[in-house]
Structure 1
């Protein structure tokens, strides 16, 4: 069986691809860049353009499961046009996959689609489980809800559908960690806002393992893609400083200053989501990185 991955060359997709190659799983991937197309037995690229509805249907050949990671980065100025792009890129990708499966013969039995813990409202005290009925009413909440609704349509095609609400992905190659590292390296690091906001993190290797675990066990429904022990922004900053043997001496960066500079997008770093991983653990998944310090040390030293 092959796995079809959208977003295979992104941060998470690259790690899933690496893990698949380790385990002898062959990959088909979809890309909007014709220059990234490769053709070999273990890693076959196919062109698509979700905004225009173009797709090479040969991408389905031999595929038993799809991992969907496609979507424009939320880490860009939240102008009206960029907001539209962020949302549209996610919905268009899933809608095109849905139409393609509906109108072509295939052996696909499962879809595992990315979502985000931004679907939960900001709170410093409430622990969110997957069955929470409280949903964020901000932009990230809207994106996540519509993203998941688009994935749920695949149930109509009799596929097993799972959604992974991804937390803060820790990787040395991109995402939050290098952004925290930059000022810390020069002894200029500091917690953001109060520093008490919860940041439910996950080591990128565990996240990749989780996606493949869901496929190999045929799991369905929603799963939080976070490690068992969330940390505060201050704890995360301190652990990065500890791993780099640096000092934190500057005062915390005021939330008001971040709102002034980042606008509405400041909610990404000032928001607090305390999220549980118990559901995936109850399904038998075991994390390699349960606590923050070993995870950061593994990535930075």
Structure 2
């Protein structure tokens, strides 16, 4: 297959690129700086989002399109300017991706657009599945809702469109886990806030595996929760991490201190949601790492 990726040099994108290379596919990565990228076999870098770039003229017979672009949610305190950047970066890249697909003489079979479980808002009691239609009422929910609405325009081109709602992606080197694990390494781990907030997590290997599964299963469309089937409350997540590290779980971080440091961005730590991957489950996807203890042991083995 020929696979076009935006955000292909990021956390998830680089793992997908490596996986697709091992499967023998050709990968095309949209980037603002194609000449700054290291050479890789089977990988071509194509310039986009510059005044004169026309990526569609360098592409032919693309089978799969994957959009992972957007300003990171963790790239600084959520000022009004930062929030605008987070929203506009997702809208702009998605809109441009759809324009590119529309300009291709042969349309791709599937468009996978990133989203997040932040779509659902937060709750300590409710269970969310893809059947939950109404978004939440906070900033993240607004961003995800608008983002998915923009991506849905790809359906007008006759392209199967999937919104992958990412949960907390666990990896040893990248993502949130190294920061979560650091206090435990320093013998200072404990619950965050009241510890009751749900953490709907997923191993990076299952992110890659699930996206590959979605590509090959034509009946899967619309929102898909990329979370493991067994979320954990923050206090239980911490206790599991402490048992894997054989370090204590004893020093809580109070909510007011976290809010003081992070401001509105503290919602990423102090709030959560129980999100179940119903579509993956019902379609027959088999998780490589379904339980947290085994996942953390795999990551830190």
TM-score class normalised by the smaller sequence:
over 0.9
Provide the residue aligned with 1:274 in structure 2.
274
Q: Is 2:51 aligned against 1:66?
A: no
Q: How does 1:195-234 map to 2 (within 5 A)?
A: 195-218=195-218, 219-234=220-235
Query: Equivalent residue for 1:13?
Result: 13
Change (3 A) 1:248 1:39: closer
Instruction: Assess if the C-alpha contact under 8 Å between 1:46 and 1:58 holds in 2.
Output: no
TM value normalised by structure 1: 0.94
Name which of structure 1's ranges 183-192 and 195-204 shifts more when overlaid on structure 2: 183-192
Q: Map of 1:240-259 to 2, 5 A cutoff?
A: 240-250=241-251, 252-259=252-259
In 2: Cα distance, 1:180 partner to 1:94 partner:
31
8 Å Cα contact 2:60/2:104 also seen in 1: no
Instruction: Write out aligned runs for 1:114-153 (5 A).
Output: 114-153=114-153
CA distance in 1, matches of 2:53, 2:144: 24
Q: Give the corresponding residue for 1:237.
A: 238
Contact 1:37 1:44 in 2 (8 A): no
Provide the alpha-carbon RMSD of the alignment: 1.6
Task: Give the match for residue 162 of structure 2.
Answer: 162
- Cα distance in 1 for partners of 2:53, 2:188 equals 47
60-69 vs 135-144, greater mean Cα deviation:
60-69
Q: Deviations over 1:166-212 (max 9, x none)?
A: 00000112111100121111101121101111010000000111111
Task: Report the 3-state secondary structure (helix = DSSP H, G, I; strand = E; otherwise coil) of the residue aligned with 1:78.
Answer: coil
Contact 1:11 / 1:174 at 8 angstroms: preserved in 2?
Answer: yes
Rounded Cα–Cα distance in structure 2 between residues aligned with 1:172 and 1:144: 26
1:239 deviates by 2.1
State the match for 1:56 in structure 2. Answer: 55
- 1:114 offset after TM fit, Å? 0.8
How big is the shift at 1:158? 0.6
- Provide closer, same or farther for how the CA distance between residues 292 and 78 of structure 1 changes in structure 2, counting only shifts above 3 A: same
CA positional deviation for 1:53: 7.8
- CA drift of 1:59 comes to 4.8
Give the drift of 1:249.
Answer: 2.4
Count of residue pairs the alignment pairs up = 299
* Secondary structure class of the residue paired with 2:180: helix
Does the CA contact (< 8 Å) of 2:130 and 2:278 recur in 1? no
Retained in 2: the 8 A contact 1:124–1:197? yes
CA distance in 2, matches of 1:87, 1:240: 33
Asked if the contact 1:11–1:173 (Cα under 8 Å) also holds between the matched residues in 2, the reply is no
CA distance in 2, matches of 1:271, 1:277: 19
Q: State the SS of the aligned residue for 2:101.
A: helix
| TM-score for the superposition, normalised by structure 2 | 0.94
**Contact 1:121–1:134 at 8 Å: present in 2 too?**
no
Contact in 2 for aligned 1:30/1:59 (Cα 8 Å): no
Q: Please give the alpha-carbon distance, in whole angstroms, between the structure 1 residues aligned to 2:40 and 2:269.
A: 41
Q: Secondary structure at the match of 2:132?
A: coil
Deviation per residue, 1:124-147 (Å, 9 max, x gap) = 111001121331111101110011
